[in-house]
């Protein structure tokens, strides 16, 4: 199984990052053997109270390099920075610009358009690390769409489109949002109702979208709409994909107040007669759903990695706190009622992490089914949520106070249980595809 290995970016001048990454190859098993040999046999790889350790088992040299470089950037953005952004609902431009300036926005986009051409395995490390720094979804979501959202364009767009769209995105000059969910159809994406009709050199689009993240700051949108009526015999046909200007003179954008991840906006979009040029159609008309599906497994892996980051951040804060907080004459971490649930959280997070990075490796090696990506995303979201909840309970009253950050972690850990796909739908998928059971809906 061949894997790309990236030398730690912190050791390289920015200009050499992409060249090096594309030249070097090694097997993941070799990387693993080296990692093991370089350590004492019984040494714990990374303690839960360490800040963004690089030496995690199952990560290869390339992933460790990404970890180290991203950790260096993220260490400048403290929990206090993220609390302020969350409270004031302000987009984290400083982190976004830092990542763009250091060339990280194109981590898994093609090198010929300025990307690094790495895999989902590396992008997952990048997003986990951002989230784990204390940024949680506020940090990860600020770049998530740029990191991976344009995969359908990279895969199905023409050379002219990729030149026009990927280059400014990777340079951080343009931001994209992702317009799929609709108010009336929810998870039943095939039934979405927004409709585009062709008039000569443009389409006119009418309809609405809901929960569209970063629409307040994005110049572009990847939009899935209907170009033919729903046909029960061919339910996945008739949807088309556009990547186009999010033209505020034609689209009404209204922010949705929400529970968490408040630094990154989420919106409803209404459009009556939105003119979109035909050259902004991606791939073939009517094939949009297949193109979106292509990236779904990767999306699950990345969101799972982001969730893991929150879980580890919660454990890190809590390990410190319970070691220091003395009640009844002992640090509370000495009491098994506190210690054992935290130990369980670590075990759950580590199992989920192994599943997420297995799914990442399979995806990068061309595996297209979704059982590991979906299962990994489910396990990561659930274990992150439990870790954040245990963090609050272990902090007692202070867990409820904003000052200790864990209440923010819990709010942020809720999101990946719902979006981009819910736990119920993942269980439906496993039930049908893996267990071979009948579909209930
Ligand atoms: C903060 C945030 C940001 C988002 N950002 C974006 C974005 O940028 N772009 C975008 O397109 N979308 C975005 N979404 C939308 C997100 O992907 C959807 O909310 C998610 O897919 C769930 O869809 P829904 O809210 O319509 O739930 P519904 O489809 O209404 O489902 C409601 C509940 O019913 C359950 N349910 C539904 N059908 C079944 C079934 N057959 N079996 C069992 N249970 C079922 C679901 O699991 C869920 O618990 C975002 C959502 C949030 C909250």
| 38 — pLDDT class (breaks 50, 70, 90) | low
Ligand 1 neighbourhood includes 380 CB (under 6 angstroms) = no
Res 441: pLDDT: 93
Is the domain of 78 the same as that of 196?
A: no
Ligand 1 neighbourhood includes 140 CB (under 6 angstroms) = no
Residue 140: half-sphere exposure toward Cβ, Cα within 13 Å? 30
Is the domain of 307 the same as that of 274?
A: no
Is the domain of 121 the same as that of 212?
A: no
Ligand 1 neighbourhood includes 318 CB (under 6 angstroms) = no
Is the domain of 195 the same as that of 244?
A: yes
Lowest mean pLDDT among 17-21, 339-343, 405-409: 17-21
| 295 — pLDDT class (breaks 50, 70, 90) | confident
Res 1: pLDDT: 36
Domain membership flag for residue 171? no
Q: How many domains does the chain have?
A: 3
pLDDT for 17 beyond 70: no
Question: For residue range 120-159, what is the model confidence (pLDDT) as tens digits?
Answer: 999 999 999 999 999 999 999 999 998 888 999 999 999 9
**Number of Cβ within a 10 Å radius of residue 188:** 12
Is the domain of 37 the same as that of 106?
A: yes
Domain membership flag for residue 218? yes
The whole-model pTM stands at: 0.92
Ligand 1 neighbourhood includes 414 CB (under 6 angstroms) = no
Ligand 1 neighbourhood includes 212 CB (under 6 angstroms) = yes
Query: Residue 355 and residue 373: Cα distance in Å, rounded?
Result: 8
Is the domain of 304 the same as that of 347?
A: yes
Ligand 1 neighbourhood includes 216 CB (under 6 angstroms) = no
Domain membership flag for residue 355? yes
181 CA closest ligand 1 atom index? 11
Ligand 1 neighbourhood includes 303 CB (under 6 angstroms) = no
Query: Which of 258, 289, 320 corresponds to the end of one domain?
Result: 289
The domain in which residue 121 lies consists of 17-156
Is the domain of 281 the same as that of 255?
A: yes
Tell me the CA–centroid distance for residue 116 and ligand 1, in Å. Answer: 32
Is the distance from CB of 350 to CB of 358 less than 8 angstroms?
no
Q: How far, CA to CA in Å, does 29 sit from each of 3, 36, 60, 287, 361?
A: 10, 10, 8, 38, 12
**Contacts of residue 329, Cβ cutoff 8 Å, sequence gap at least 6:** none
Test site for ligand 1: of 208, 292, 412, 418, most ligand atoms within 8 A of the Cβ: 418
Question: For residue range 380-393, what is the model confidence (pLDDT) as tens digits?
Answer: 999 999 999 999 99
Higher pLDDT, 146 or 60: 60
Is the domain of 396 the same as that of 266?
A: no
Is the domain of 245 the same as that of 368?
A: no
Domain membership flag for residue 78? yes
Q: Tell me which residue has its CA closest to atom 7 in ligand 1.
A: 212
The rounded percent of the chain whose pLDDT value lies above 90 is: 87
Strands (E) across 41-168 are located at none
Query: Residue 366 and residue 364: Cα distance in Å, rounded?
Result: 5
Ligand 1 neighbourhood includes 425 CB (under 6 angstroms) = yes
C-alpha Rg value of the chain to the nearest Å: 22
The rounded percent of the chain whose pLDDT value lies above 70 is: 90
Domain membership flag for residue 421? yes
Res 45: pLDDT: 84
């Amino acid at each position: 199984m061949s894997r790309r290995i990236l030398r730690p970016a912190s050791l390289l001048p920015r200009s050499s990052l992409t060249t090096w990454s594309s030249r070097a190859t090694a097997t993941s098993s070799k990387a693993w053997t080296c990692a093991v040999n370089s350590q004492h046999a019984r040494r714990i790889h990374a303690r839960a109270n360490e800040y963004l350790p690089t030496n995690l088992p199952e990560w290869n040299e390339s992933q460790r390099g990404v970890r180290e470089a991203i950790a260096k950037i993220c260490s400048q953005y403290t929990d206090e920075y993220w609390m302020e952004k969350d409270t004031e609902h302000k987009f984290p431009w400083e982190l976004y610009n830092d990542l763009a300036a250091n060339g990280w926005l194109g981590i898994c986009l093609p090198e010929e358009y300025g990307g690094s051409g790495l895999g989902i395995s590396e992008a997952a490390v990048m997003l986990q690390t951002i989230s784990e720094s204390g940024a949680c979804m506020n940090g990860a979501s600020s770049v998530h769409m740029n990191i991976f959202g344009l995969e359908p364009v990279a895969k199905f767009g023409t050379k002219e489109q990729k030149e026009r769209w990927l280059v400014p995105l990777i340079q951080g000059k343009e931001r994209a949002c992702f317009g799929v969910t609709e108010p009336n159809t929810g998870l039943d994406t095939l039934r979405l109702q927004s409709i585009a009709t062709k008039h000569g050199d443009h389409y006119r689009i009418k309809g609405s979208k809901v929960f569209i993240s970063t629409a307040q700051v994005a110049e572009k949108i990847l939009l899935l709409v209907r170009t033919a009526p729903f046909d029960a015999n061919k339910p996945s046909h008739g949807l088309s994909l556009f990547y186009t200007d999010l033209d505020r003179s034609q689209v009404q954008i209204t922010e949705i107040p929400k529970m968490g991840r408040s630094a990154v906006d989420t919106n409803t979009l209404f459009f009556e007669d939105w003119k979109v040029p035909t050259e902004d159609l991606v791939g073939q008309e009517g094939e949009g759903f297949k193109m979106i599906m292509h990236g779904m497994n990767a999306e699950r892996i990345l969101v799972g990695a982001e969730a893991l980051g929150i879980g580890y951040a919660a454990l890190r804060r809590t390990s410190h706190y319970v070691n220091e907080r003395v009640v009844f004459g002992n640090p509370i971490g000495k009491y098994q009622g506190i210690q054992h649930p935290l130990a369980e959280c670590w075990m759950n997070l580590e199992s989920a992490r192994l599943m997420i990075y297995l799914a990442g490796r399979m995806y990068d090696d061309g595996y297209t089914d979704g059982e590991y990506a979906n299962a990994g995303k489910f396990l990561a979201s659930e274990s992150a949520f439990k870790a954040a909840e245990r963090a609050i309970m272990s902090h007692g009253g202070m867990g409820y106070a904003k000052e200790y950050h864990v209440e923010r972690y819990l709010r942020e850990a809720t999101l990946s249980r719902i979006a981009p796909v819910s736990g119920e739908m993942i269980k439906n998928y496993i039930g049908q595809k893996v267990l071979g059971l009948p579909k209930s809906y």
